[in-house]
Amino acid sequence: MALIIENSAKATTSNLLLYKYPLEVFREIEYQSLMTVITRFPPSPTGFMHIGTARTGLFNWLYARRHGGKMLFRIEDTDRSRHSEEAVQAIINGLNWMGIDWDGDVVSQFARSDRHAEVAHELVKAGKAYYCYCTPEELEQMREDAKKEGRPTFYDRRWRDNPPSAPPEGVSPVVRIKAPMSGERVVHDKVQGDVRVAAEQLDDFIILRADGTPTYMLAVVVDDHDMGVTHVIRGDDHLNNTFRQNVIYEAMGWDIPSYAHLPLILGPDGAKLSKRHGATSVEEYRDMGYLPEAMRNYLLRLGWSHGDDEIIETEQAIKWFDLEHINQGAARFDFDKLNFVNAHYMKLADNDRLADLTIDIYKLRGINVSEIGRARLMARMDELKSRAKTLVQLADDAEFLVRDIPYEFEEKAAAQLNEDGKFIVRVIHDNLTGLSAFTADELESLCKSTADYHRDGKLGKVMMPLRAAVTGKASSPSLVHAMEVLGLEEVSKRIEYALSKL
RNA sequence: GUCCCCUUCGUCUAGAGGCCUAGGACACAUCCCUUUCACGGAUGCGACACGGGUUCGACUCCCGUAGGGGACGCCA
């Protein structure tokens, strides 16, 4: 029987089915095998995308793609003051940069508040929720008393079954849900296993505020249900909320989705990753010169593993990703490892793309790169990308290729151009025009013979002053290759400038 | 204060009771390559938090302790 259903599931396309029939009808048919995986990415519009949010998004996306399902995108803007178009755009930009896409429209939770209220009232009508007229002062008092007495919850359920009085005039009530009062509650979590909590730990929490707007707890459940979400993959900080959310699912008689709670990302010092640690948002990582494919790989490995594999490209990740190998402990963010992964993907990256990205960085620095500058960059890109860990480093390494004189000399470079240094640079300069060809090989032999004749064969004594003159720096990529790319005219110009300036 | 979760090299992790003399990667150290800085190659250093059980046998299972993280809003 199971087999037959499985086969027919492959024959039909479950996606089509979803559109053809109303969701409710579809849900009546309880063919597990027909169900496509539907995950969701529900950020709060905070104005930027936290790196932890990005990882959660990545995991949801990977899981949906792995199973040929969908990842939905919903903005958690129940609190209307949070809603801002720029903030939503920031999240979308972050996702785009990360290379993560989603299915369907961006759903605004705020726009669905009528539906949320409808559910709350339905629960009241069914006797599963009730109006509560407590004032903030009363609640504050209850909270204090509960803390003093060491009780687990504070709300005393005074409006639940035996209201103390008739509803007071002119007070708009909140709606509270009736949480179970005894027994053990279990959440089956794909990462943490079965998590148990005593019902006594659960309050009759508020699902609809006095102003008629839904609380987060209600909104997530209603939206996840209406959107057909089958797998909720989210941060560990929601594990406790899950018990509350399940109360709503049960009261409505809805199917509870599969849960997977990911441990949080900690800062290098083991404390919760915060602004204090520097970069927390994906745009900051972009600005630090990290490649999105490197971020994906690094974030994937932070908490998930596939044996000893370290370098896992996204296509491979889609084939491999599962919930079973998510680690249970929180992981620390480690820049060294990120740098290593990024360096790897830099080597793999297309030269043209790297040139464009590097030129973007120069623009930010106020350096306008000419066609010639770009050509020089491209000519040396194979070497440049093999030595840099980030785009910013690459840009630093290659800046001398795209800049014109006058430029500043690093302190260590200036030191190279003492009298001895200047003498050697002059010798090289005088012999440049005599070269049979202005190539790296010819330049190298010139340097070597100059070293042999004037500096006892010590090549460094020639290269270092020359490097200082041509690049303004004490270290650089291969000097003779750079000189070849710069060309005779430019090299002469730079040497003359250096000799005159220092 | 109450509850929940977690704990293998400095860091990310492999490990499904004997395959473990605990494997890989990053970082670090040394050496090689080298005109500088890097890249690359080789080698090395380095961990089962602690204490009790269960078992012929425990990194793996159970219970405590300690440490870390999270949640307890008319925030999300």
A163 touches strand B (CB under 7 A): no
A314 touches strand B (CB under 7 A): no
Confidence band, pLDDT 50/70/90 cuts, at residue A149: confident
pLDDT of res. A279: 85
Q: Could you tell me the two tokens for A222?
A: 């209603």
Taking the alpha carbons at both ends of chain A, their separation in whole angstroms is 88
pLDDT of res. A13: 30
Strand B near-CB residues (< 7 Å), A 352-411: 386-389, 397
pLDDT of res. A140: 87
- Between the CA of residue A174 and those of A119, A145, A165, A371, what are the distances in Å? 14, 22, 16, 66
CB A332 within 8 A of CB A353: no
Q: Which helix (H) or strand (E) holds A75?
A: strand A70-75
CA-atom Rg of chain A in angstroms: 32
A113 touches strand B (CB under 7 A): no
Indicate whether A14 pLDDT > 70.
no
CA–C1' span, A126 to B51, in Å?
53
Q: Which helix (H) or strand (E) holds A194?
A: strand A193-198
CA–C1' span, A305 to B57, in Å?
29
Query: Averaged over A395-411, what is the pLDDT?
Result: 91
Confidence band, pLDDT 50/70/90 cuts, at residue A151: confident
Which one, of A34, A20, A32, A74, lies nearest residue A226 by Cα? Answer: A74
Confidence band, pLDDT 50/70/90 cuts, at residue A167: confident
Average pLDDT, chain A: 89
pLDDT in tens, A54-96: 999 999 999 999 999 999 999 999 877 767 888 999 999 999 9
CA–C1' span, A268 to B46, in Å?
19
Q: HSE (CB half, 13 Å, CA atoms) of A59?
A: 31
Indicate whether A403 pLDDT > 70.
yes
Question: Which one is catalytic: A275, A363, A448, A461?
Answer: A275
Angle at A89 between CA A257 and CA A288, to 5 degrees: 100
Indicate whether A27 pLDDT > 70.
no
Which one, of A166, A159, A154, A248, lies nearest residue A203 by Cα? Answer: A154
pLDDT of res. A82: 67
Strand B near-CB residues (< 7 Å), A 194-253: 195-198, 201, 203, 206, 209-211, 215-217, 219, 236-241
Q: How far apart are CA A401 and CA A472, in angstroms?
A: 11
| A398 three-class SS | helix
CA–C1' span, A363 to B56, in Å?
71
**Cβ-based neighbour number of residue A20 at 10 Å:** 9
pLDDT in tens, A458-481: 999 999 999 999 999 999 999 999
Of A159-168, A209-218, A353-362, least confident by mean pLDDT is A159-168
| A66 three-class SS | helix
Instruction: Name the amino acid, one letter, at A487.
Output: G
A135 touches strand B (CB under 7 A): yes
Of A11-15, A76-80, A366-370, A389-393, least confident by mean pLDDT is A11-15
A327 touches strand B (CB under 7 A): yes
Indicate whether A26 pLDDT > 50.
no
CA–C1' span, A193 to B63, in Å?
19
Query: Does A275 qualify as catalytic in the annotation?
Result: yes
Percent of chain A residues past pLDDT 70, beyond the cut: 93
Nucleotides of B under 7 A from a protein CB: 1-8, 10-16, 23-27, 35-40, 68-76
pLDDT of res. A30: 40
